[in-house]
Structure 1
Amino acid sequence: MKNLHFKTPFYNFYAPLIFKFRKQYALVLAKMWALTPEQTKQLILYSWDRFLANKFYSEAPYLPGQKIDFGQIKRSSDTIFILGCGASINDLTENEWKIISQHDSIGVNYFYAHHFSPTFHMIELGQSPKSMACLNTHLLSQKSRKNEMIFLQIRHLLRRDKLELNDSNNNLYLYSPSVPKSTSVPLIRRILVKWFKKPGQLIHHASNLDCTVHFAYQAGYKNIYLLGVDLNKNQYFWDVLQSDRPAISDVKSATQDDYRISNFNQNPQAVHATADIKHTATNMSLTVIDYLTLVNDDIFSQQGIHLATCSPKSLLREHFDYVELSALANNVTYGSTNNNDG
């Protein structure tokens, strides 16, 4: 990991004091919530992680890009499509892409290899050195994509010793989410109810997908529709796409390296790692489905926000509403500048 500029001698002096304060605060909450000793320990660590997530933003001046400001994000619709990289993306027709283009959209991770250009990108940089090369070549350096806002997870940048990111389009922004580590449903539910609605800081739990859903909420969208979030298979759209486009072959190579480095199951018929309870438990998290169910039940349903999948083959269809894209044709409602009304 890169040397952190905020870790000065003064930080070493005051950080233990802040930790003690945040620990006491967490202990008060733990008593109110009747948490077990293990849940209390996890809450203390999360309270500290919320502090660190904000401190990481002080590294922004030393990195490519700039700190994300939710107040500057403008919506052109009340609906946003979250575009995952699952193989079902290849099933979409030209008419369906036209429907998607009538609304805002955000591509997750390597989605930028697709020919469709979304409004935003939400990216966690893979551990493979090829992941940065792909990002530079096929997104950041492309003048034709200068109007697409690109959000990068700052912690994934800081863990690298060398950064060579191209921000010549001045459209690169950094986000620093807090990360609750727990497989306790009661604790995660308490955390969501207390902090999910608070503007300015995203929560990342099981995957970058759930962080992207939180972004959509922070930005004020009322309908959050998921496409290409299959989860029932470990297969991406570039794995089954017959294309000679360099972006496809480069991203395919990068993700294969990412999988090897992270020791993920590369069986294309396996359930995606973020939906595999054995895998997520080793990372101290719920599955992304269980986590999003809590978000939907405890936050979205209370505020009239519609979370649904538009992919008929998605594993999410068993747990959330399903919306056919054809039903959204010419159904465009326009929003305004984000006011964090959540």
Structure 2
Amino acid sequence: MTYSFFADKLKIAERIYKKKGLKGIWFYAFRHIRVWMWSPLFLILSIFSSNSKDRFFDLISFTKDLYRTEDIRKIIKLMKNKGEARDLKDLDITKIKKSDRIFLLASGSTVNDLTPQDWEHIGKYDSIGFNHWLIHDFIPTYYFFEAIGGTYLDRHNEQERSSSFNIWLTWLKYREEAYAKVPFICDYKVWYDYTVDFKDLPEKFRDNLYLYAAHGFRATSVSFIKLVLLFCLYMDYFKLFNYNWIIKHRATINGLITFAMLAGYKEIIIIGADLKSKDYFWEVNPESYNSCPLPNKGEPEKHHSTYDVKISKKFHFCLPVDVFMDMLERFILRPYGVKLYIASRKSALYPRFPLYTGFKENQDINKIDQ
């Protein structure tokens, strides 16, 4: 790096400081992230860490993810300028939102425990379905999707698709009319890894398509993630409708929680995030969902991979889904006055998070517990 490089940076910093003060300097540094920008964090963590090597890899992984997020957002901006797509920030939530309560619809087997009265109750409020939720008859307020079936599309050979993607596409076409007015929201950061367009999607979905790129906050250190979350809280990044701060650490459900908070919801209820098992609602009761082919059952495992400590760290360089969710609730949701609930006590997230008592069965359970 030359003298002129540092001189230019100092001039920029001086100009920002005069306008916005020290907080503006931090914001600029965060937006134009470099590994050395995070060196103070690394040094602080090294003092309290018995394994500074791990913290170094946390720093590298975290920074690479920030780079990639910014790169994908630039691509989304170019697509928007060409009229090929819309940014999630273009979605007017105020015209959609019915209340301050929202249900996040995961695909675990406890979905089948809900009664018709429960679904009637859910229908009075807003909801988010994602990925294979299309299989269920309940139509959510929003629909999110990303990489269905993992590497479902080889970028070097568009003819190669996994059965999971084809099944998802079949259900997509089957639900085209029912979902015609549902915002169709894609994490383009994941989608872009496998394809760059949406030509396979039915036209009605493309007409209502919105893109975003979620932060991954990739790191395996609780102390590192805690420091980053507290920094973001101090900088007030989680302002209303600031969808640049959707954080999808380890699992989609964490990204949906941050979206719900940024969209102004104050009560978030998680349905079907069982984690203790890999059984999905259509596997337990397949005769109720036979309108189209169903996804193949994966390898038998005792619990969901996002809940597995070793898999999360080794293959995804993340904390398990429940650990990050707990930190998200304590350091971000709670300060913003957002409450998080679990719909079933069969979930591994209970009793870490309170049981939602809007369903009659849960009201009865609470009476027994008392």
Question: Normalising by structure 1, what TM-score?
Answer: 0.78
Q: Which residue of 2 aligns with 1:177?
A: 214
Contact 2:270 2:343 in 1 (8 A): yes
Once the two structures are superposed, what CA deviation does each residue of 1:272-315 show, in whole Å capped at 9, x if it has no partner? 10001111111111000000000011111222211010112111
1:67 aligns with 2:87: yes
CA–CA separation in structure 2 for the residues paired with 1:191 and 1:49: 18
Contact 1:64 1:166 in 2 (8 A): no
Aligned Cα root-mean-square deviation (Å): 2.9
Once the two structures are superposed, what CA deviation does each residue of 1:70-129 show, in whole Å capped at 9, x if it has no partner? 661231110000011000101110001000001000012211110000101121222333
Structure 1 residue 26 displacement after superposition: 2.2
Aligned-partner residue type, residue 313 of structure 2: A
Greater displacement, 215-224 / 237-246 = 237-246
Aligned-partner residue type, residue 191 of structure 1: V
Q: Which residue of 1 aligns with 2:187?
A: 153
Q: Which residue of 2 aligns with 1:186?
A: 223
Structure of higher CA gyration radius: 2
Structure 1 residue 230 displacement after superposition: 0.6
The correspondence for 1:315, drawn from 320, 331, 348, is 348
Greater displacement, 147-156 / 35-44 = 35-44
Aligned-partner residue type, residue 201 of structure 2: L
1:324 aligns with 2:357: yes
| Change in 2 beyond 3 A, CA 1:297/1:185 | same
- Unpaired runs of at least 5, structure 2: 1-29, 153-160, 363-370
1:290 aligns with 2:336: no
1:228 aligns with 2:272: yes
| Change in 2 beyond 3 A, CA 1:279/1:188 | same
CA–CA separation in structure 2 for the residues paired with 1:238 and 1:124: 20
CA–CA separation in structure 1 for the residues paired with 2:120 and 2:32: 54
Contact 1:289 1:316 in 2 (8 A): yes
CA–CA separation in structure 1 for the residues paired with 2:179 and 2:352: 35
SS in 2 for 1:322: coil
CA–CA separation in structure 2 for the residues paired with 1:150 and 1:21: 31
| Change in 2 beyond 3 A, CA 1:27/1:165 | same
| Change in 2 beyond 3 A, CA 1:20/1:94 | closer
1:301 aligns with 2:337: no
Question: Normalising by structure 2, what TM-score?
Answer: 0.73
SS in 2 for 1:321: coil
Q: Which residue of 2 aligns with 1:332?
A: none
Structure 1 residue 240 displacement after superposition: 1.0
Contact 1:234 1:271 in 2 (8 A): yes
CA–CA separation in structure 1 for the residues paired with 2:346 and 2:272: 9
Q: Which residue of 2 aligns with 1:27?
A: 39
CA–CA separation in structure 2 for the residues paired with 1:328 and 1:70: 39
Aligned-partner residue type, residue 197 of structure 1: F
Greater displacement, 294-303 / 138-147 = 138-147
SS in 2 for 1:239: helix
Structure 1 residue 69 displacement after superposition: 1.4
Aligned residues: 300
Contact 1:273 1:279 in 2 (8 A): yes
Aligned-partner residue type, residue 86 of structure 1: G
Once the two structures are superposed, what CA deviation does each residue of 1:25-53 show, in whole Å capped at 9, x if it has no partner? 22345456667451443443344244334
Structure 1 residue 318 displacement after superposition: 2.8
